[in-house]
Amino acid sequence: MLDTTVSIGGVRVPRFLYGTAWKEDETQRLTSLALQQGFRGIDTANQRRHYHEVAVGDAISEAIASGLVTRDELFLQTKFTFRRGQDHRLPYDPDASISVQVAQSFASSCDHLKTDTIDSYVLHGPTGSVGLTEADWEAWRAMETIHDSGRVRLLGVSNISLEQLKKLCGGARVRPAFVQNRCYAARRWDSDIRSFCADNDVTYQGFSLLTGNRELLRRPELVRIAERYERSVSQIVFRFGLDVGMMVLTGTTSPEHMRADLDVFGFQLEPGEVEQIENLAIT
């Protein structure tokens, strides 16, 4: 059995996270189910438009109360989302300064998740697609202040370009421990950003590995590799992600798929197979 966790900044972090986006009224049930199947890393956001953070917290509280897990066994990751990414159900005062909004959103997340400490606090994308604005820096400085308080163990950023990531790493006092991006095979699985992360002690978190690459999942090359290992194509893609150094996310709603996803720690791909999958979209 390969190691299911990694140490990042002195924190033991699961290499496979369960993502809770787009689950609405099913959020509590599915988060509970993921914990029952063995997931110990939960990804959410204080963004009611796509997440139901309160329901995530209810599932976690229930799991702890039942004795299934302890808080120390869990890795909880949530996000601050700017106004443009929210709907009308805001977790902060829209007229307040960005730094106050970050503080309010963080306090709200702690209430939702029924915890005093967040393991990873993520900026849910810069305000624009190019460069970093004053608002981006104000949000990051506010996140650094929370990190200084000890209530956040690690910081991260999502939905970011390579140019923006370089700027952030160059100007941050507390540099991001994580980058979480949607991972497309057509972009060689975000290889430019992954390479920068590998060179700068940043851990890449990949999401939408399946949903963002549906066409490629039918490629005969992937099917042959899956047949060789007597695994599903989905398992091969997740194993590939782990083998190239990603933390991977799944949002499956099926208990069978949850178990299968976690079962990818039972095997490892050959280097040639990893390279073949890496270049699948350009062959």
pLDDT tens, 231-280?
Answer: 999 999 999 999 999 999 999 999 999 999 999 999 999 999 999 999 98
Is 248 in the same domain as 153?
no
Q: Does 191 fall in a domain?
A: no
What pLDDT, on the 0 to 100 scale, is given for residue 177?
98
Task: Name the percent of the chain lying above pLDDT 90.
Answer: 96
Q: Does 115 fall in a domain?
A: yes
Is 145 in the same domain as 239?
no
Q: Summarize the confidence of residues 108-124 as an average pLDDT.
A: 98
Q: Summarize the confidence of residues 86-115 as an average pLDDT.
A: 98
Mean pLDDT, the chain, whole residue set: 96
1 pLDDT exceeds 70?
no
Is pTM beyond 0.85 here?
yes
2 pLDDT exceeds 90?
no
Per residue in 33-62, pLDDT (tens digit) is 999 999 999 999 999 999 999 999 999 999
Q: What is the domain extent for residue 244?
A: 212-283
The total domain count for the chain is 2
148 pLDDT exceeds 60?
yes
Q: E strand or H helix at 54, and its extent?
A: helix 53-66
Is 89 in the same domain as 148?
yes
Is 282 in the same domain as 175?
no
What pLDDT, on the 0 to 100 scale, is given for residue 216?
87
Q: Does 189 fall in a domain?
A: no
* Rounded-to-integer distance, Cα 48 and Cα 59, Å: 17
Helix axes 98-113, 53-66, angle to 10 degrees: 40
Per residue in 7-25, pLDDT (tens digit) is 999 999 999 999 999 999 9
- By the 10 Å C-beta count (0-12 exposed, 13-18 middle, 19+ buried), 127 is classed as middle
Mapping DSSP to helix (H, G, I), strand (E, B) and coil, where does residue 157 land?
strand
283 pLDDT exceeds 90?
no
Task: Name the percent of the chain lying above pLDDT 70.
Answer: 99
Is 32 in the same domain as 99?
yes
Q: Does 112 fall in a domain?
A: yes
Tell me which DSSP letter residue 266 carries: G
Q: Summarize the confidence of residues 174-181 as an average pLDDT.
A: 98
Domain boundary among 142, 164, 182: 182
